[in-house]
Structure 1
Amino acid sequence: MSSPAVTPALTRGLKAYRGLTRLLAPAVPLLLNRRLKRGKEDADRLNERLGAPARPRPPGPLVWLHAASVGESLSVLPLIDRLLDARPDIALMVTTGTVTSARLLEGRLPARAFHQFVPVDTPQAVTGFLDHWKPDAALLVESELWPNLITLTAARHIPLALINARMSASSVRSWRWWTAAARALTGSFNLVLAQDETAATRLKLLGATGTKAVGNLKVDAPPPPASDDLLRELNGLLSGRPTWVAASTHPGEERIIADAHHQLKRALPDLLTVIVPRHPERGAEVAQLLADMKLTAARRSQGDMVTPETDIYLADTLGELGGFFRLLTIVFMGGSLVRVGGHNPIEPSLLGAALLTGPHVFNFLEIFRAFEERKACETVQDAASLAAAVGRLMSDGQLAGARVTAAAETAGSLTGALDKTLEALVPLLDHALPPRKTDNAVEGGAHAHA
């Protein structure tokens, strides 16, 4: 059962935040235009960020699900399918804040689900968003604690759930400077479903009620897709050479990976390294870095061919990681040699990967602990240890095979969050939404929204 949330009384800190963001709102279009020039906004949909969407509200009950970016969006796709199956009378709106996540969702959302950009966190934009969409329930993913978004939604008595919730130790320390605000925000949720017991405990310390640990939805997310055409094309480009992939890399990591490539080439002169940046728009930047390091790179986004002289295949494209995971055994997961917090190791594990990671995996701490305990992953610290680890896996097929088996078994043992999340959400939605219609009534048309 979910707990009744308390409509938050604005603390002094939250009042100051609301007043400041109201005053700064006229400057938001300038900020969005700067982001647009860097490829971080969609020119045709800037009004959505200002709380003025062009798309009409669908008739009937509407559930709003907000996921910050790519990883969160992919993790909730199975949940979206299950929610729509459980409630055939609803529509589901998914909001995100990045262009990359919008593009990924464009072709992967099912019927009765659609994407919008989340409004910036000013009172004007959030109020416009809520006035237009009038959601019947709101589900926020992971750690999206935007003060105006939460307090203005709760003030309308719209049931709120925080799902797949996580809270790092550093975030807890930061919120302790704003204890009253943290309690008001986390106390606005009727239901909080945490990724693990550690996150649940931290959220309770901040004031969350109705909190339980149900597991991580990213564990239950399906592996990224890859068409037969893509697999044939990549196999033709990559076959015949010792090859490994560095996936979802971030600024600061490509230099380390390039250094590791230089070191590996002493023993493996025909080595090919594949780098897949987390954000494809960084392709030109990464290509310049590689050129400065005297490495020959082929950019996939530019249609460059892999030749015998190619050192690095730079896959600066969107939605093709599933192909590389299926074809290449040795996978380094990025966001972990710099303090990003790591990325989901489950996806490559289910596709036959021998995993490597850096030390900074606080976004997936419990999962990586399970992997390390079962020898399903190796942690590297720098270019030298990365090169040594890749070299060992390339030269020792037995070691690589054992790592692949351990990773697949570990990933399989961690599932179950999707069922538990759905089980907890259905009562909340049944209470928030109009009664379910009979099959005949559903066939006759959608419920008209009051």
Structure 2
Amino acid sequence: MTQSGWRKPTPGLCKANGLAKDGEQLAVPKNQAMLALRRVAHVIGLKPGDLMLLETLAVFTKPCDWETGARPIVWPSNDYLIESTGYSLSAVKRHLRRLSEAGLIAYRDSSNGKRWGHRDKDGRIIEAYGFDLSPLAARTGEFEAQHAALQAERNQVKDLRRGITILRRTVAALLDSDPAGRADTFWRGIGPRYEELLAALRQGARDTAALSRLHQSFELLRDEAESALRKMAETPAEAASEAVEANRNPANMNPTGAVSAPHIRITNDIQSVNRNGMDHATETPVASEPPTGGMRASAAGATSGASRLERQPVRTPGELSIRSILYACPVFADMAHGIAGHINSWRDLVAVADRIRPIIGISEDAWAVAQRAMSREEAAAALALITDKYSDGVVSSPGGYLRGLALKAKNGELHLARSVFGRFQERQGASSGRDKLASHGRAAQPA
């Protein structure tokens, strides 16, 4: 059979051609289309290399190419794509094929298979052959809806985790109460089930359905525990004894003394925050001290808490660790792991930041300015922060934002560690933690 030399059609290529026709009828700005894709890239199976190549292609388009009736067609040479991405020719072709099969670009081939194009004096395309990005415009609405659904699911997961934490601590408090401690039947009925739910929680339930089942189980267990305690009617003698004791010492407002007062831990250590999260559901015992009376113990605790807060150091960029950066910037972490695998050292972080830099549109000059104004490691941490903010739509110009941080660093006004820890708290939804820190004048401020 004689080979035609023409591109062999596949279902994916045919679908991409159909999407290109749909995209021609829409007016979608390039930035909006790329942002929508970036937010769901990991969900639709797009690799960092695919995204990098698509960003490189989009650089060649102009705003008028994304208007209704126009097509954003680009015609870069293979040599340019190899130089821009650092990939081999076979890798470039492989990524282009993946983008077309994913329905993000379409091929527009000339009669001789070469890429070329012409624009008029106003910059509009007259005739062009190469890569058509119209399918991306056609799918922008789909990607935005998908991102909204993901955000809704994340918020639901966050609410479920908060609810489970509250229920878990409530049941633990019921089990630690004096009536429950005196009743073996209560422990036999409630205690083992509580331990089973804790074990299930430690196994790492992450999806909405599993967390919802755990939430319902903890809620049912709490209701049963409260009902069981209500049925443990105290004897009249015990009730009278407790009433006499309360009248004798009216200042003792805490029923079990200051030992059982809520333990508030004020810390700047991100690892400590992580240990108090859902991933470590075990209860941490608090060393008890002899009760000295509710009012006096509370006043002493407040004084010692204030002195501990005064002794805590202010965060500096030097306090940042690779783990804290990757934990606070999950979008950057996903891209970094896709490019370089595991990040084991600051050198790895700097190297992968240099690879991600062109993907989010930061020029080599802006990168060099930032590295001169800060250290190379601080510049990499700043780029990680910018990547996540750019993905969330908070930052529209990553290059300009990085230059602004460099200027702050030059003037000694940059507080990078605060920004990273603040980002971590936003991710965790630690509103209660922020309120506690704010009440002591230690709320984290962005750089």
With the shorter chain as reference, the TM-score category is under 0.3
Q: Which has the larger radius of gyration?
A: 2
More helix by share: 2
TM-score, length-scaled by structure 2 = 0.24
More strand by share: 1
* Higher RCO (CA-CA < 8 Å; seq separation 6+): 1
